[in-house]
Structure 1
Amino acid sequence: MLNKEDVWGSSVTEFFDYADEKEQLLWSYFFEKIIETTPRSYKKQILPIIEKIGKNSFRKIIHNWLEIVILATPKTAFYQDESGLEHERNYLLEYPNETIFARLIRALPFVADQNSIDLLSELAIEAGKNRIAKIDKITGIASYKLSEQAIYALADIEKVTPISSLLSIQIQLQSLSLKKLIEKKLIQIAKKQKIEVIELLENYLPDYDLENGFLEGEIQSKLNPTKIYAYQIQVIENKVKLSWFDVNGKKLKTVPIALKREFPHKIEKLKNTAIEAQKTLTLQREHLEKAYLTQKKFNYSHWKKAYANHGLLGVIVENLIWQVNIDTQEGKKWKTVWSSFGRFVDIEKNPVEVKENDVIRVLHPVLLNKKELEYWQYFIKQKEIKQPFQQIYRNTFERKTDEEIDESKRFEGIILSQKKLRMFAKIQGWNYKWLTYPKMNRSFVTFQFDYKIDNSEKPQKLEIEFWVEALPSQPQKVKTSVVRLYKKAQPLSFEILDKVTFSELFRAIQRIVNISSLDITNN
Structure 2
Amino acid sequence: MGFVDFMKKALGKQESVSLPEDSFDRIVEAARLEAVQKFQHFWNVKPGELIVYKEQLVTLPANSKVEFLLNCIYKIYYWQSKNTSYSSDDVGYQKYALHNLFLQNLLRSRLTLTDDHIVSLATHFLNYQKFIWPSILDWPLSYFLIQVEKNTKGRVISESVKEALLAIKDELNKVDYNPREKERTKSISKIEELLHLGEGKEEIKPVYFLGKDKFSEYANPIIKLRSEKELPVWYKILAQVQRASGGRPTQKYQKESQSLISTLGTDAFKEVVLDWFKFIIQLKESELVQTHTYGTQTYSYTSYDLLSTPNIDAIKGLLWMCVSLNDRTALATIAALAERAYRKIPGKGPAAAAVGNACLYALYQSEGLEGISHLSRLKLRIRQASTQALIERYLQEAAKDQGISVHEIEDLAVDQYELVDGQRVYELQGFKAILDIVAVGKTELRWFKPDGNPQKSVPTAVKEKQAAALKQIKETAKQVEVTLSAQRDRIDRMFKADRVLTWAYFQKYYANHGLLSFLTKRLIWSFEKDGVSKNVIYFNEKWVQPDLSEVEPSSEVTVKLWHPASASISEIEAWRSFLVEHQILQPFKQAYREVYLLTDAEINTRVYSNRMAAHLLKQHQFNSLAKLRGWKYALLGAYDDGRYNEAASCLIPDYHLRAEYWVNEVDAQGEMNDTGIWNYIATDQLRFVDTQTNNVVELINIPKVILSEVIRDVDLFVGVATVGNDPNWQDSGGVAAYRDYWQAYSFGELSEVAKTRKEILTQLLPRLKLAKVAEIRDKFLVVRGKLRTYKIHLGSTNILMEPNDQYLCIVPDRSKKDVTQNVFLPFEGDTGFSVILSKAMLLAEDDKITDSTITSQIKRV
Q: TM-score band, normalised by the shorter chain? A: 0.5 to 0.7
Paired AA for residue 245 in structure 1: W
Q: Are residues 1:82 and 2:187 paired?
A: yes
- 2:726 and 2:318 mapped to 1: Cα distance? 58
246, 253, 267: which one pairs with 2:470?
267
Paired AA for residue 494 in structure 1: L
Q: Which runs of 5+ in 2 are unaligned?
A: 1-183, 191-209, 241-254, 287-305, 339-354, 367-371, 373-394, 628-632, 672-678, 731-742, 744-861
2:231 paired residue number: 94
- 1:296 and 1:496 mapped to 2: Cα distance? 19
Q: Are residues 1:499 and 2:704 paired?
A: yes
User: Structure 1's 216 and 297: CA in aligned 2 closer, same or farther, altered over 3 A?
Assistant: same
Q: Are residues 1:425 and 2:425 paired?
A: no
Residue 371 of structure 1 deviates from its aligned partner by: 0.4
Residue 409 of structure 1 deviates from its aligned partner by: 1.6
User: Structure 1's 291 and 472: CA in aligned 2 closer, same or farther, altered over 3 A?
Assistant: closer
Confirm or deny: 8 A CA contact 1:219 1:230 kept in the other structure: yes
573, 577, 591: which one pairs with 1:378?
577
Confirm or deny: 8 A CA contact 1:324 1:334 kept in the other structure: yes
Residue 338 of structure 1 deviates from its aligned partner by: 1.1
- Please show how residues 23-422 of structure 1 align to structure 2 within 5 Å: 80-82=185-187, 86-87=210-211, 94-96=231-233, 98=237, 102-104=257-259, 126=274, 129-132=277-280, 148-152=320-324, 171=335, 174=338, 176=356, 177-183=358-364, 190-220=399-429, 229-245=431-447, 247=449, 249-250=453-454, 252=456, 255=458, 259-327=462-530, 332-340=531-539, 343-401=542-600, 403-404=603-604, 408-414=609-615, 416-417=616-617, 420-422=618-620
Taking structure 2 as the reference length, the TM-score comes to 0.41
The Cα offsets for residues 266-294 of structure 1, whole Å up to 9 and x where unpaired, read as: 22111101011122212222221121232
Confirm or deny: 8 A CA contact 2:522 2:587 kept in the other structure: yes
Paired AA for residue 422 in structure 1: H
- 2:436 and 2:505 mapped to 1: Cα distance? 24
The Cα offsets for residues 413-456 of structure 1, whole Å up to 9 and x where unpaired, read as: 44x25xx23333256452242689xx97999862222337xxxx
Confirm or deny: 8 A CA contact 2:500 2:559 kept in the other structure: yes
Residue 234 of structure 1 deviates from its aligned partner by: 0.7
Say which SS state the counterpart of residue 409 (structure 1) adopts.
coil
Q: Which structure: larger Rg?
A: 2
Say which SS state the counterpart of residue 410 (structure 1) adopts.
coil
Confirm or deny: 8 A CA contact 1:468 1:480 kept in the other structure: yes
Paired AA for residue 436 in structure 2: Q
Paired AA for residue 544 in structure 2: V
Residue 333 of structure 1 deviates from its aligned partner by: 2.9
Paired AA for residue 237 in structure 1: A
Confirm or deny: 8 A CA contact 1:466 1:509 kept in the other structure: no
The Cα offsets for residues 166-214 of structure 1, whole Å up to 9 and x where unpaired, read as: 9767655536322333225666665454333442442353212211111
- 1:297 and 1:168 mapped to 2: Cα distance? 31
Residue 126 of structure 1 deviates from its aligned partner by: 3.0
- 1:303 and 1:124 mapped to 2: Cα distance? 41
User: Structure 1's 421 and 230: CA in aligned 2 closer, same or farther, altered over 3 A?
Assistant: same
2:724 paired residue number: 518
Confirm or deny: 8 A CA contact 1:238 1:387 kept in the other structure: no
- 2:496 and 2:418 mapped to 1: Cα distance? 30
Confirm or deny: 8 A CA contact 2:322 2:362 kept in the other structure: no
Residue 498 of structure 1 deviates from its aligned partner by: 0.7
Paired AA for residue 354 in structure 1: P
User: Structure 1's 152 and 483: CA in aligned 2 closer, same or farther, altered over 3 A?
Assistant: same
Say which SS state the counterpart of residue 283 (structure 1) adopts.
helix
Residue 405 of structure 1 deviates from its aligned partner by: 6.0
Residue 339 of structure 1 deviates from its aligned partner by: 2.9
Residue 312 of structure 1 deviates from its aligned partner by: 1.4
Say which SS state the counterpart of residue 724 (structure 2) adopts.
coil
- 1:106 and 1:197 mapped to 2: Cα distance? 33
Say which SS state the counterpart of residue 528 (structure 2) adopts.
strand
User: Structure 1's 365 and 83: CA in aligned 2 closer, same or farther, altered over 3 A?
Assistant: same
Paired AA for residue 81 in structure 1: K
1:69 paired residue number: none
- 1:495 and 1:166 mapped to 2: Cα distance? 49
Confirm or deny: 8 A CA contact 1:432 1:446 kept in the other structure: no
- Counting strand residues as a fraction of each chain, which structure ranks higher? 1
What percentage of aligned pairs have identical amino acids?
18
- 1:205 and 1:280 mapped to 2: Cα distance? 8
Cα RMSD (Å) of the superposition? 4.5
Question: Comparing both chains, which one has the higher relative contact order based on Cα–Cα distances under 8 Å and sequence gaps of 6 or more?
Answer: 1
- 2:268 and 2:649 mapped to 1: Cα distance? 39
Paired AA for residue 351 in structure 1: E
Taking structure 1 as the reference length, the TM-score comes to 0.64
The Cα offsets for residues 45-97 of structure 1, whole Å up to 9 and x where unpaired, read as: xxxxxxxxxxxxxxxxxxxxxxxxxxxxxxxxxx9322789527767853446
- Counting helix residues as a fraction of each chain, which structure ranks higher? 2
